Structure 1
Amino acid sequence: MSFNLSKAIVVTSVMALAMLSAAQTAQAVAGPLEKASSAVGAPISLGSSIEAGQKLDADEYLQSPNRRFRLYMQKDGNLVVRDGEQAVWESRTSGAGAFAYLQKDGNFVVRSTSGKALWTSKTGGAGVRLTLRDDGDVVIRSSSGEALWSWKSSSWRLVTDESLKAGDYLRSLNRKYLLHMQADGNLVLLNEAKRVLWHTKTGGNPGAFAYLQKDGNFVVRSTSGKALWSSGKSAPGGTLYLQEDGNLVIRAIGGAAVWSR
């Protein structure tokens, strides 16, 4: 039997090329092995927002729609907003395994593995949503769309045991309303046209200050401590908000409004 060496070489070459092509195709589908391995254990994105009842575990993050910012629950227990590699806000918490939880009661809390609250937004209400925006701000809104908390703007609310001294103010998130503690002792609510919408009528008391007491009562007091005006409502642990609709509201921990003007 004769054997054609040149034909055998051609056939072998064709088979080798076919096998090489198949291997290249498989690699193209799977990707390089070293890249696939490096993805194991990589931080996990949960989109740009979470709903009540959802959480960020260690090494999980939210990313702004423009992909510039991340709200990252670090492995060391610190919750951080990052602009690229730069931290622009942090909860200043620590502890391996800590997680950030948007509770069903509307409060956003960083908790340790044992469940201890390490940091809280002190917000409340059913159906809240937390969003990382394109400007890097993290905003918690109620089911009706009302802004309840933002790391960039803490000047639109008072928590218990905080006060507004002469010259201090609250400003709504949309910047349309201002609650100003005037030097004459009058607490005044103004719109963007600087028209007075409401005031405590406590002028003539220079140095007076507005104080959200630990019992939740909002009081204007003179320099001697005398109560000049009071909301007359109790909500221990509550928060005073200057809302985007211009209303001034005291809300209990659960989110219920106990006073408004």
Structure 2
Amino acid sequence: MTKKRLPSLPLRSLAVVATLLLSIVGLATPAYAAQQPYGTTIVSAGEWLSAVGGGVDVYSNGSAGYVSGDYSAPAVGMKWQCVELPQRLYQAKGWHGGIFAGVSGAYQIYDAAPNLGMERWANGSISSVVPGDMIVHGTGVGYGYGHVSVVDNVDGSTIEAVEQNASYSGRASYTLSGGSLSRAGVGDIRGVVHDPDNPATVGSGSPGGRNVGLYAVPRGPQLVAGQQLHSDEYLVSDNGHSVLKMQPDGNLVLYGPGFQVKWKTSTEGNPGSYLGVQGDGNVVLYRPDGTPLWATNTSDITRFVVQSDGNLVGYDNGGNAEWASDTVDSPDYSHSGHRLVTGQQLHAGSYLRSQDRRYYVLMQADGNLVVYSPGYRVLWASNTDGQGSRNTFLGVQSDGNVVVYRENHGPALWATNPRGITRFVIQDDGNLVGYDSSDNATWATGTDGMI
């Protein structure tokens, strides 16, 4: 195959030419380039990226590499180069305003990510990949321009992607193992780039945020002797206020309400590190090679607990606190299961918690009914704050209405309006749903998949 070259441009302003150069005009034409006729739709918008409502059309670049006089997709870049695809997708989704500034080759997307307001994970320290993320290859492919593909679906360790100017089908398959992505026959993978405005979660399910990296089901509120907390795993207090997260960068961080940092080991820069509660009573943070980075320096801790009051505490067998982060600041609310049924109420200071311990519905004393994710990140609210009292409660009425009252049968602050609801459930997917007696969902917050 011939080397990529720029087309002969028609007479246009220098500004337009400069814009095209910034929009990745000469990107990857790898040796595995697609051979379908130029401009052929090889993957339609509705055939991929179902996690966020579909993608955009994926086109063949043909075998010539360009067609003279037909080189520019409006405000996006050269047809149909590899980088034109994510630029067009991100613009269509509202994740980014079109052209990736400061990029003149696909490999530079990884370098430019921070300036573009995006996050990046180097190959070898990738904790997770979600639909819509960009997989960036280095200069070892694409005649030195590199290459970029866009993740379509995540199924365990298999990462399915789509791409332009690279494969006959417009599709590619990667494997994620031990923090590293690989692809048969195609190497030099620099890493993954994620835009925080992309709402996808791991897998092909419903959309939701990714910016805090809480992907695994939490381990509960504590570790006991012999247990470990590995990269991207976390503990969460029973009331959801506080989260202890073993971050991929090696930092162990305690987050409080609003996911604000309350305490940390300051051990970032050590990817793959893990925390262990040892049989000798010491709690130690280790590098992957076994080098200790941080420890409680104790000899009798058997439980390491994230408490509902916001404190991280190490206890011995007798229940004595042997070490603490001294970060008490959260109220200890009362847990009331994961659902309400007809006749039941959720009173101020009480909460429902999903069975997987990730989502919470709190009836606040200020009158606000709020759906939270771990670390009390607000997902949905009734917006009735400032109208409540200590006697505020949520009730599932016999008429099928779910209502927030300031006090017993006083003025209603909020209601679903009669929907025949007999069960009001906070689900493991983060959705708060009202079901009727026939198990039909008649009302929901629409927060499924969010975190």
Shared fold per TM-score greater than 0.5: no
Alignment TM class, shorter chain as reference:
0.3 to 0.5
Larger helix proportion of the pair:
1
Larger strand proportion of the pair:
1
Which of the pair has the greater relative contact order for Cα pairs under 8 Å at 6+ separation? 1
